[in-house]
Chain A
Amino acid sequence: MATIVAEATGQAILQEEHEQSFLRKYIFSTDHKVIAIQFLFTTLFFLAVGGFLAMMMRYQIAWPDQPIPGGGIFPESMVASGYILPEFYNSLVTMHGSIMVFLAIMPMLVGVYANYLIPLQLGTHDMAFPRLNMYSFWVMVPAGILTLASFFVVGGAAGAGWTLYAPLSARPDLTGVALGQQMWLVAIVLIGLSSIFGSLNYITTVINMRAPGMTWFRMPLTIWALFITAILGLLAMPVLSAAGIMLLFDQTIGTSFFLPEGGGQPLLWQHLFWFFGHPEVYILILPAMGFTSEILSVGSRKPVFGYKAMVWAIIGIAFLGFIVWGHHMFQSGMNPTLGLTFTVSTLFIAVPSAIKTFNWMGTMWRGNLHFHTPMLFAIGFVAMFAIGGLSGIFMASTPVDIYIHDTYFIVAHIHYVLFGGSLFALFAAIYFWFPKMFGRMMNEKLGKIHFWTTMIFFNLVFFPMHGVGMVGMMRRIYDSTGYAHLQGIGGTNELMTWSAFALYATGFLFAFNFFWSIFKGKKAEANPWNATTLEWQTPSPPKHGNWAEVPVVYHGPHEYSHPGVTDKDWLAQNERPDLPSPAGGH
C-alpha cells in the first residue's frame, strides 16, 4: 500500500535512468524481465524438489516392504533403518502437493509469464508498479526457505495434506507436527502476499498501460488469460490468507475457529479453503490455456479459431469458478441439498472448457502445422487436458463421486489437469519464449526427445491411476498391501513407479537442454517463430525499457496466412496492413 502511494509521488520511476549496480540489475531489480527470470529459476528448482518428493512417495507405494536405496542419508526422523516412516510419508504427500501448487506451478504461470509477457505483449516499458513487482518476488523467497526448512525442524514438515483439513492441521497433538505446520502456514500467507502484489500489478498494467491501438479485443489470448487469472488470484488468495491466519491462531495461541471442542467448525475450514481452492484450480489452468491458444496459432499458421468465444469462455470460467467450490466437499457432511446446486454449477463450468477444446481443434483444422517443440507440447496439452476434463465429469456426478472420491481416480484427474495440462503448457511456453528471454534457442532435437519421453511416461504414470482408483485405492495411504480389495494392483503400482522414475529422468534432459542453451544455444533472431505479437517485434532479449519507440497496434493478435499478405504468412500487430480491407479481429 505504501509503495503505491510512494510511486504515486513519482519516487520509483526515476531510478531506471542511470547505470545500475550489479545488485540493482540482477538481484533487487525492478525490471519485469529480470524478475520473471528470477521466478523462472526459483520455480524450476521447486519443480525439481516437488518431483523428488513424489519419487520417494512412488517408491514407498510400489515397494512398501523394502528399504529405500540410499535411505541412510536421511535423518532417523524421516527414514528409520532404511524404511520411510508413515509420518514422513504424510509430509511427503503434503509437501509434494503444496510445493507443486504454491511454489512451482502457480508462480511459474504467473510469476514468470505474467511478469514477462504482460508489458512486452501490451507494448509498454514495464509494470505499473515495478518496485511492488520486485517485492512480489522477494516475499516469495522467505516462503520457499521456510518451506524447505520445515523438513528439518522437530516434528518434520506439515503432514495434514495440502488441503490442510482441520482439525488434523489445527491440533499438533494429533499429527506430532507443530512447528512444521506453522512454518508452512506462514509461508502460505507470504505466498498470498506475493500473489496479491503480482495480481495488483498485472491487473493495473493491463487496464491502464496498453500500447496505442491495443484495444481489449486486440489483446493476445495469453494476456486475456493472465489478466483474468490475476483477478482470480486477487480475490481468492486473501480468503486463503484469512483462513490460514485463523488456522495459525488455532495452532499457536489456543483459539478454536476450526476445533469443535471450542465450538468451532471443521467444515468452515473446508468452505474457506475451497472458496480459495477452486479459483486456484483455474489460476493453475487459465494461463496454460492462453499459452496453448497462442502457440497453436503460431504453429498452425492460422488465426486462433473463435477468438472472442475463447475470451468469453475464459471470463465464464472465472465467474463460475467462484461458485463451484462445494464440489470438493460432496462427501464432507455438507448438506446434501447444497451438493445439488454445486453439481449444477460444476457441470456448467465444464461447458466453457469444452468450447475451448473444440476451438483449439478448430485452430489446427486446415492449418499448416509446424511441429517445433513448443507446438508439440501445445498439442500435447490439448490431448492431455481433454482427458483430465473428461475424467472430471465422473466426479461432478455426485453419486459416482461417492465411490471415486478420495481414491486414486482423483489423483489421476488432477495430474492430467495439472501436469498434462499446466505443466505441458509450461514446457511449451518455456521452449517458445526461451529465445526472447535469453537470446538463444533451445536445442530442438533434445526438445523433441523431451516431448516424446514426457508424453509416454506421463501417460504410463497417470493413466493407470484411473485403474487403481476404480479398484478403490485410497489417496495418501502409506501401504496398500494390507487391504483385501487392493491385492491385485501391486504390479500396476510398480509399473507406475518405474514410469515415474523415467518421467523424472526426462526432467534432467530438459534441465540440461535449458542450462546448456542459455550459454551455448544457437543465437536467436528477434522473431524466430515468425509470430505476430509485439514481444517478437523487439530484440531478443529486449533491452531495459523494452522499446526504443513504443509500438502502435493496428489489428488483432493472431494474423497468420492472411490472403492479402503475399510475401510472408504473418502480419505483426504493429505492422500497418496495406490491404483492401483491414484485417481486424472479426
Chain B
Amino acid sequence: MDWALPPNYSTQGIVIDQLFWIIFWLTFAAFVLVEGGILWFVLKYRNREGHTAHYTHGSNKLEVIWTVIPAIVFAVLGAYSAGVWANIKNPDNFPEDALEFLVVGKQFEWNITYPGMDRQLGTADDFIVRNQFHMPVNEPVIVNLEAEDVIHSFFIPELRVKQDAVPGMTIPIWFDATTTGDFEIACAELCGLGHYRMAASVTVHESADFDAWQASQATAQAQ
C-alpha cells in the first residue's frame, strides 16, 4: 500500500507540500487530542458501582480558550495560505517572459497549441499537437486553459498543477518542472462518459531538446 503524495517536481509543489505537511501535523495533534480524550473519558467515566456524574453546565473560561486558540491557529494558517495562493494563482504575480501555451480541453482530449520557435502564441509558426504536452525544464511556463464543450480540469499530479478549464473562459496558470521526464495530464472534473480516459502525456525536456522537438514538429506539420 502506497498512500503518499507522488514525488514533486515543481517549485510550486514544494510550498504546497510543505503546507500539506504543516496541516497534517496540526490536524494529527488535534486528532490525538480529540480521539484520545474521547477514549480516556469513555474508560474513566464509564458507569459503575458508586460512580456519579459531576453536575456542571460548563465553563466560560474553557469556552473562551477553545474559541480563541482554534481561531488564532486558523488565522495564521489562513494568512500563510493566502500568500502562497496569491503567488501561484494571481496573474499579477506570474513570471515575466514565460513561455506561453494554449491548452484546449474537449471530450475527451487535450489539444495543445505550441508557440513555435518565435516563442509567441498567435503567430504563423504555432502548431497544435493532440494529447502531448512538451515543455522545457527549469523554466516557468504559462498555460492558457480553454474548453470547447464542457468543464474539464487540467491536472498534473507530479507538478501539483490543477485548474478547471471552462467553456467561454481563458484561464491562465503558470508552473514549472524541476526535472526532465515523463508525466501525465489527467482530467479531474467529470466531463462525460470518457472522463476516465481523458489523459495526455507530459514530457519535460532539457531546454535545447525542447527547441529541437519544437523544430521537428513544426517541420513535420508544415509538410
* Chain A interface residues (CB < 8 Å from chain B): 85-87, 90, 93, 159-161, 165, 167-168, 171, 174-176, 260, 264-267, 300-309, 331-333, 336-337, 339-340, 343-344, 347-348, 350-351, 354-355, 357-359, 361-362, 364-371, 379, 382-383, 386-387, 390-391, 393-394, 396-400, 402-403, 405-407, 464, 466-468, 470-472, 474-480, 482-485, 488-489, 491-492, 560-563, 569, 585-586
B131 within 8 A of A: no
* A469 to B, closest residue via Cβ: B3
Contact between B188 and A492, CB atoms less than 8 A apart: no
Within 8 A of A (CB), among B60-108: 62-63, 66-67, 70-71, 74-75, 77-78, 81-82, 84-86, 88-91, 107
Cβ–Cβ < 8 Å partners of B56 in chain A: 302-303, 305, 366
Contact residue among A86, A265, A347, A478 (Cβ-Cβ distance under 8 Å from B78): A347
Cβ–Cβ < 8 Å partners of A569 in chain B: 52-53
Contact between B6 and A472, CB atoms less than 8 A apart: yes
Complex Cα gap A583–B34 (Å): 30
Query: Given contacts A305-B58, A387-B31, are A167 and B151 in contact (CB under 8 A)?
Result: yes
Query: Given contacts A397-B81, A485-B184, are A266 and B30 in contact (CB under 8 A)?
Result: no
Q: Shortest CB–CB separation between residue B17 and chain A, in angstroms?
A: 8
Contact between A399 and B16, CB atoms less than 8 A apart: yes
Selected A-B contacts with CB under 8 Å, 17 pairs:
A86-B195, A159-B193, A168-B150, A266-B166, A266-B168, A303-B57, A305-B58, A333-B164, A333-B171, A340-B86, A350-B70, A358-B62, A364-B38, A368-B53, A393-B23, A400-B23, A569-B53
Q: Is the interface of B mostly helix, strand, loop or mixed?
A: mixed
Contact between A491 and B166, CB atoms less than 8 A apart: no
Contact residue among A159, A394, A480 (Cβ-Cβ distance under 8 Å from B20): A394
Interface segment among B114-122, B153-161, B209-217: the answer is B153-161
Query: Given contacts A347-B75, A402-B162, are A391 and B16 in contact (CB under 8 A)?
Result: no
Contact between A347 and B74, CB atoms less than 8 A apart: yes
Contact between A351 and B67, CB atoms less than 8 A apart: yes
Query: Given contacts A347-B77, A390-B30, are A301 and B53 in contact (CB under 8 A)?
Result: yes
Cβ–Cβ < 8 Å partners of A347 in chain B: 74-75, 77-78
* A399 to B, closest residue via Cβ: B84
Contact between A399 and B19, CB atoms less than 8 A apart: yes
Complex Cα gap A216–B45 (Å): 31
Cβ–Cβ < 8 Å partners of A485 in chain B: 6, 157-158, 183-184
Cβ–Cβ < 8 Å partners of B5 in chain A: 403, 470-472
Complex Cα gap A398–B163 (Å): 12
Contact between A336 and B85, CB atoms less than 8 A apart: yes
Complex Cα gap A202–B93 (Å): 50
Query: Given contacts A303-B56, A347-B77, A351-B71, are A332 and B166 in contact (CB under 8 A)?
Result: yes
Cβ–Cβ < 8 Å partners of B3 in chain A: 464, 466-468, 470-471, 492
Within 8 A of A (CB), among B31-62: 31, 34-35, 37-38, 41-42, 45-47, 51-59, 62
Contact between B41 and A390, CB atoms less than 8 A apart: no
* A466 to B, closest residue via Cβ: B3
Q: Shortest CB–CB separation between residue B221 and chain A, in angstroms?
A: 27
Q: Shortest CB–CB separation between residue A438 and chain B, in angstroms?
A: 26
Contact residue among A267, A354, A362, A398 (Cβ-Cβ distance under 8 Å from B62): A362
B179 within 8 A of A: no
